[in-house]
Homo-oligomer: A and B are copies of this chain.
């Protein structure tokens, strides 16, 4: 199987290198892949500043080939260039139902410009989901997904999720055994499935600069199942309860109670994915009962904790 990584002149190094290393290791483990690196410009400067020469875009693709579109450093500037337009024209001509296309990060924008996502479910990096939706209004752009597969086109959130998508492709085309061996070599602790959310609540609500609010968030995040009366929390971070309550909402953009509830619900999700029962998951995450948990769940997440496949 021929796999073509396509790079634009100022590509994001990790969008390319993450999945490419995974596929290279799969070859070492016996996968019948051949890797090629090509693009509209012979010379590329990666996001890390290293300059390399790559092959020109292929004139034809063998049936069953896989094309991987990597993202770029600044999609607004980099995708307005003649090289990007040349790549979009090439995609229109060569991505047929007989070949597979996978995108990493802002690579989805190129596929969108080529009209390849029309009528498809797809995703991209959380920072540019709106751009993709504006650029490909006939696509069903899904938010907060690691990757989305729809027919012969797979799109991933980007950066490290390119590796998750590569592992899924390796599993499909070379077997679960080789995929597991590659994950081990990459020291990826656990593969993420397409349905996993991109943004963990453990990382959300943290893009502020207030050290006391960070300390309060650290305390809650380390023990989300414990009770955290605002008085205790305030004492631990040397603020008055009233001051902490106000600062927390101002800085984190969310209240203390909601912050803890979101962490608890995320913990419940993880427990359910690991095969723990709904009742035990609710208890483990600090809810008084499964009923309490369901009530809180319905405030923050669609569906219900009992739905299969969660």
Enumerate chain A interface residues (CB-CB to B < 8 A).
Answer: 12-14, 16-18, 20-21, 24, 35, 37, 46-54, 125-127, 146, 157-161, 163, 175-177, 180-181, 183-190, 192, 196, 198-200, 202-204, 206-209, 214, 218, 222-226, 267, 270-271, 274-277, 280-281, 283-285
Contact = CB atoms under 8 A, between A and B. Distances in A.
Given A17-B48, A184-B203, 12 more contacts: A37-B48, A51-B52, A159-B186, A177-B208, A181-B206, A189-B196, A225-B274, A270-B274, A280-B283, A280-B284, A283-B283, A284-B284
Given A159-B186, A160-B163, A187-B159, A224 B192 contact: no
Contacts of A48: 16-17, 20-21, 24, 35, 37
B189 A200 contact: yes
B159 A21 contact: yes
Contacts of A202: 190
A185 B209 contact: no
A197 to B, nearest CB: 8
Contacts of A49: 35, 37
A204 to B, nearest CB: 8
Contacts of A218: 176
16 contacts: A13-B17, A14-B17, A14-B21, A20-B48, A21-B48, A50-B53, A126-B184, A157-B187, A176-B206, A180-B203, A184-B199, A189-B200, A225-B274, A226-B275, A276-B284, A280-B284
A239 to B, nearest CB: 18
